[in-house]
Amino acid sequence: MDPLDVMANLENVFPYYQAIYSADEQQIIGYEVLGRISFQEKVESLGSFFQDESVPEDYRNEVDDFILHMAINQFIQLEDRDLLLFVNRDANLLMVDHGESFLQLLLESQEKGLQLDQVVLEIAEHQFHEDTEQLYHLLTYYKTYGIKIAIDNIGKGSNSLDRIGLLSPDILKISLHPLRLTSPLQSYYDVLYSISLLARKIGATLLYEDIEVNFQLQYAWKNGGRYYQGFFLDLPKSEFSRKDEQKEKLKKEFQRYISTEKKKLETLYHFTESFHKRVSAAILQDDQHIAYDDLLLDLTQKFDDCCFRMYVCDEDGFQQSVNMFKRNDWESQAQYYMKNWSWRPYFLANIIRMRHDKKGVLSDVYSDIETGDLIRTFSYPLKDTNYLFIDLSYEYLYEQDELL
Distances (CA, A) of 31 to 73, 163, 234, 265, 352: 14, 26, 11, 35, 46
pLDDT score of 297 more than 80: yes
**Higher model confidence: residue 184 or residue 71?**
71
* Dist. CA 319–CA 87, nearest whole Å: 54
Quote the pLDDT of residue 131.
Answer: 87
Mean model confidence pLDDT for the chain = 93
CATH 3.20.20.450 fits 3-233, yes or no: yes
Cβ–Cβ < 8 Å for 193, 227: no
Question: Could you give the residue range(s) of every CATH 3.20.20.450 domain in the chain?
Answer: 3-233
Quote the pLDDT of residue 155.
Answer: 64
Average confidence (pLDDT) over 234-245: 96
Closest CA to 209 of 20, 36, 15, 50: 20
Question: Could you give the residue range(s) of every CATH 3.30.450.20 domain in the chain?
Answer: 289-399
* Dist. CA 363–CA 397, nearest whole Å: 12
SS3 content of the chain, % helix, strand, coil (to 5): 45, 25, 35
**pLDDT, tens digit, for every residue of 131-179?**
889 999 999 999 999 999 999 988 665 567 888 888 999 999 999 988 8
Distances (CA, A) of 271 to 208, 303, 308, 321, 378: 32, 15, 18, 27, 11
* Dist. CA 356–CA 359, nearest whole Å: 8
Other Cβ atoms less than 10 A from the Cβ of 97: the count is 12
Domain 289-399: state its class.
alpha beta
Quote the pLDDT of residue 185.
Answer: 74
Query: pLDDT-based confidence at 251, cuts 50/70/90?
Result: very high
**Higher model confidence: residue 259 or residue 159?**
259
